[in-house]
Amino acid sequence: MLYKLNSLQYSNLIDHANAHDCGSVYPLSVVEGIQEGDIYADSIKDCGKVLFWTHSGFAYLSGNIDDCFLEDIYELIMNKARANAKRFLLMTRNQYIQEYFKQKDDVIEEKRYLFQYSGAKGNRESSLPAGYELKEIDDHLLKKISGKIVPSLFWNDLNDFLAKGKGYCITCNHDIASWAFSAAVSTKEIDIGIETKSEYKQQGLGMIVANKMIQYTLEQGKGPVWACHYKNTASERMAEKLGFTKVSECAVIKNKD
């Protein structure tokens, strides 16, 4: 059985969040109270097995995981034991967890590449094409951003993002062509989300806004974080140009539907 923890208990889970093998920025964003999310454990008191489930749907397991706990996680993945409609994408590099879910016919496993910032290329400045402007995302611009990778996917509401997050966009006339923003924030790191509208690609706009977010992250004394789906070759190439190095990959386990 899973027990949903009270936010007053979160401070006891810093070590669990820090130790995650797929990066700590998302679990820590919830534990540190920066972003919304839910935390479940096998026991209210001991918390030997922990599930971090972020607002974006990214989920992380920590602790001495066993089959009984994984069966409860499977129920969540299949939406059998919850009213919460947000997605459930389980990130893990744990072979035991992966082998358990390979026995389930109604879940699938994909891969996600994880990168580490080396600082070799991230400060390079690029010029915008004529007619384009680089702007910090404010309330007005935030409401105009529409796509697949947007702040509303990762933050509870627009005010939450404006108060605790940061982002930049490139505009062309009255249209927003490309944007980069803090998808996850901890006291140590910022995960960068980025998207460029299809009609504005191949102009280097994504590189410019991503680089601006990297500079902002470093100015805050934090480490930039980058990850992408293994089939997203454009994101992988951009990461390498910006000074990131692919260091590992993790499984992404989700409902087949």
| DSSP-derived secondary structure for 93-132 | --HHHHHHHHT-TTEEEEEEEEEEE-SSSTT---PPPTTE
User: pTM for the whole thing?
Assistant: 0.94
The CATH fold assigned to 3-112 is Aminopeptidase (3.40.630)
Q: Phi, psi (5° rounding) for residue 187?
A: -70, -10
- Tell me how long the chain is: 257
For 117-250, CATH gives 3.40.630.30
- Residue ranges of the chain assigned to CATH 3.40.630.30: 117-250
Q: Phi, psi (5° rounding) for residue 201?
A: -75, 170
Question: Two tokens at 233?
Answer: 């070759």
The DSSP bridge pattern shows strands 89-92 and 189-196 to be unpaired
Question: Two tokens at 208?
Answer: 């410019």
Question: Two tokens at 16?
Answer: 């669990």
The DSSP bridge pattern shows strands 107-117 and 132-136 to be unpaired
Low-confidence ranges of the chain (pLDDT < 50): 122
In this prediction, residue 19 carries a pLDDT of 87
In this prediction, residue 21 carries a pLDDT of 85
